[in-house]
Each structure stands twice: as C-alpha cells, then as structure tokens.
C-alpha cells in the first residue's frame, strides 16, 4: 500500500467537522436538531452538562454561526432561546452523512 | 456505545413534559371525583373532579417549566398534536352518534357497552400513541372497563370502577410527581444569566 492509497482511505476521517465531533457539542446539536428551539435550562437538563460547560460550548457554536441565541420574554421572565441556524442544520446533516461514510468499507480481513 | 437515535431523542424530550405526573393527577382526580359523585349524589364532588384542571395548568407553569426548561417543538410534533385534536373531535361526534343509536334502537346492551368501552379505550390509546404518553394506554383501558361496567351493571359497579381507576391514576401521578421533584431539583444559580 502506497502513502497516497493510505491517505485516500483516511480522507473521510479528515473531512469530519471537528467542531461538531466533540461529544458534548454533538449532544447539544443533536438535541437542537430535533426541536425548533430550546432554552438554556432545557439543554442543561437534556445534556446533563454543567451551566459553565454548556455556555462554553454554545459560545463556540455561536461563533461558528451554527446556532442562534436570542433572549425572549415568556410570561414576563427572560428565557435564552437557542436554535440551529440554517448553516448549523446543514452542517449537522453533513456530519451525520460523513460519519456513515467513514465506516462504510471498513472490514476485518 | 449506544447509537444516537434522533427520533427517540425527540420523543424523550417531549415525554419529559409528562414526567411530572400532573396529567395523571388530573385524570385521577377527574375519574375518582366523578365516581364518588355518582356514588354519593353530592354535587361537591363534581367541583372536586374539576379541581384537577387548575392543578394541571398552575403546576405546569409553576413547577414543571421552571425545572425542565422551555422548548418549542418541531413542525412534526405540532402536526402530531393537531392529529390528536382531530381524533378528539371525531371521537366526540362518533360518541354522540353511538349514543343516539342506543336511544333509537333496542340493541343488546352488552354489545353496545362493549363497543362503547372499546371505543373509549381506543380513542385514549390512539391519543397516547400520538402524544408519546405511555401511561395513557393504561388509563385508556381502565376508562374503557369503567364505561363497560357502567353500561352493563349501572351503579354502584360503574362509579366504583371509576373511583378505583381514578385512585390508581392519582397514586401513579403522585409517585411520578415526587420522583420528578427529586430528578429535577430547582437549580441554585439562575441559568439564564449565562448570556
């Protein structure tokens, strides 16, 4: 096997979106993907991350324009509502597809 | 390593709103209240049966939402909820038609009672399916049995069954509620100050 053949085999792995690939961020995006929007508390409960940890990951996702964070008032109480942007939704779909292709063709000889 | 099932994730997120047991408490109070009302012929129990409504709405607002947060579900979920609404409308119309058949014909009461029991149970089970509220399958069956007993044996069998079914639902609801409070304690820090 030459070097170029080896790197061709590993190309799908190199294409993985590293921002999404982190387990905590993957969990956050998976939860946001299946709903229209969710508030901060809901994400804490569903992901079981700490508030600080969740904030840190949300900032990274917001910086990459994968999520949108808005302050809304519901029953006169402030709620930070988080939703996927169109780009974030597309990136997540592409990540799911790329993960499927990473393992296709892997066989034990 | 478990697979991430996105459908199951959405279902669990929606089902978390039923973890508080408030719907069980509401249904339990209603069924037990109506049963006791029929047994005692005391109007006060009709009011008691309705007490579940403010408990449900105020409980959701004051206890559930501050503990599990707020989410806007996707259009798929909203479509499911619309289906539930249509099922309820159609079932009310069908029940009225069935009742008019009972009045106009001399049909065997056991057969009609069975049809009524199955239809009531069936409607609640279908709602349970679309709402992903699994305990409603049990309550649907209990309600169907109650309707059958009421139609076949009248009082006190029917009202007694309603009271017992209500008691079961209320007990399950209270257990769920206590578990919910333990699982989702109020967070000390305000989670909305992070941004």
Predicted confidence at residue A1, as pLDDT, reads: 47
Q: Do B68 and A33 lie within an 8 Å CB cutoff?
A: no
Q: Do A69 and B75 lie within an 8 Å CB cutoff?
A: no
Predicted confidence at residue B89, as pLDDT, reads: 84
- Band of pLDDT at residue A109, cut at 50, 70 and 90: very low
Determine the distance in angstroms separating the CA of A3 from the nearest CA of chain B, rounded to an integer: 32
Predicted confidence at residue B32, as pLDDT, reads: 93
Chain B contact for A93, CB < 8 A? no
Determine the distance in angstroms separating the CA of A12 from the nearest CA of chain B, rounded to an integer: 20
Which chain B residue shows the shortest CA-CA distance from A96?
B4
Listed range (A77-81, B157-161, B162-166) with the worst mean pLDDT: A77-81
Element (H, E) at A82: strand A77-84
For B4-62, the pLDDT digits (tens) are 788 888 888 888 889 999 999 999 999 999 999 988 888 888 888 888 899 999 999 99
Q: Which residues contact A19 (CB under 8 A, 6 or more apart)?
A: A25, A60, A61, A64, A66, A91
Q: Nearest 5 degrees, angle CA B89-CA B90-CA B95?
A: 100
Question: Which residues in chain B touch residue A34, judged by CB atoms under 8 angstroms apart?
Answer: 6-7, 9-10, 13, 74
Q: Do A36 and B75 lie within an 8 Å CB cutoff?
A: yes
For A55-105, the pLDDT digits (tens) are 999 999 999 999 999 988 877 888 889 999 999 999 999 998 888 777 765
Determine the distance in angstroms separating the CA of B83 from the nearest CA of chain A, rounded to an integer: 19
Question: Which residues in chain B touch residue A71, judged by CB atoms under 8 angstroms apart?
Answer: 195
Predicted confidence at residue B26, as pLDDT, reads: 94
Chain A segment 52-91 residues within 8 A of B by beta carbon are 52, 54-55, 58, 69, 71, 74-75, 78-81
Question: Which of B72, B74, B191 is opposite residue A40, by nearest beta carbon?
Answer: B191
Q: What average pLDDT score do residues B161-176 get?
A: 96
Predicted confidence at residue B106, as pLDDT, reads: 56
Asked whether residue B186 carries a pLDDT value surpassing 80, the answer given is yes
ipTM of the predicted assembly exceeds 0.90: no
Q: Do B13 and A30 lie within an 8 Å CB cutoff?
A: no
Strand pairing partners for A78?
A73
Question: Which of A26, A38, A41 is opposite residue B191, by nearest beta carbon?
Answer: A41
For B61-106, the pLDDT digits (tens) are 999 999 999 999 988 888 888 888 888 888 878 877 777 766 655 5
Determine the distance in angstroms separating the CA of A2 from the nearest CA of chain B, rounded to an integer: 33
For A38-59, the pLDDT digits (tens) are 999 999 999 999 999 999 999 9
Angle between helix A40-47 and B6-15 (nearest 10): 120
* Sheet with A67-74, edge to edge strand ranges: A67-74, A77-84, A35-39, B71-73
Reduced 3-state DSSP string for B171-190: HHHHHHHHHHHHHCCCCCCC
Q: What average pLDDT score do residues B124-148 get?
A: 92
Asked whether residue B193 carries a pLDDT value surpassing 70, the answer given is no
Give pTM, 2 decimals. 0.81
Residue (of A44, A87, A61) closest to B185 by Cα position: A44
């Amino acid at each position: 096997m030459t070097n170029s053949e080896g790197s061709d085999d590993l190309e799908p792995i190199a294409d993985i979106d590293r921002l999404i690939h982190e387990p905590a961020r993957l969990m956050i995006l998976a939860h946001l993907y299946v709903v229209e929007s969710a508030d901060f508390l809901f994400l804490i409960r569903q992901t079981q991350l700490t508030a600080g940890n969740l904030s840190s990951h949300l900032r990274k996702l917001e910086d990459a324009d994968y999520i949108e964070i808005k302050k809304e008032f519901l029953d006169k109480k402030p709620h930070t509502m988080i939703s996927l942007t169109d780009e974030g939704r597309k990136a997540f779909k592409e990540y799911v597809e790329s993960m499927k292709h990473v393992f296709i063709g892997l066989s034990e000889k | 390593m478990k697979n991430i099932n996105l459908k199951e994730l959405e279902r669990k997120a929606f089902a978390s709103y039923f973890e508080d047991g408030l719907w069980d408490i509401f249904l339990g109070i209603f069924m037990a209240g109506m049963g006791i009302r029929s047994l005692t012929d005391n109007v006060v129990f009709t009011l008691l049966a309705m007490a579940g409504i403010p408990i449900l709405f105020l409980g959701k607002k004051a206890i559930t939402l501050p503990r599990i947060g707020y989410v806007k579900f996707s259009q798929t979920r909203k479509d499911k909820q619309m289906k539930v609404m249509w099922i309820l409308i159609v079932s009310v119309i069908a029940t009225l038609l069935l009742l008019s058949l009972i009045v106009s014909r001399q049909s065997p009461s056991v057969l009609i009672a069975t049809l009524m029991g199955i239809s009531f149970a069936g409607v609640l089970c279908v709602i349970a399916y679309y709402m992903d509220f699994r305990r409603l399958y049990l309550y649907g069956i209990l309600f169907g049995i109650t309707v059958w007993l009421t139609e076949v044996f009248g009082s006190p069998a029917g009202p007694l069954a309603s009271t017992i079914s209500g008691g079961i639902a209320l007990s399950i609801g209270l257990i769920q509620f206590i578990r919910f409070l333990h699982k989702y304690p109020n967070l000390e820090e305000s989670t909305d100050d992070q941004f």
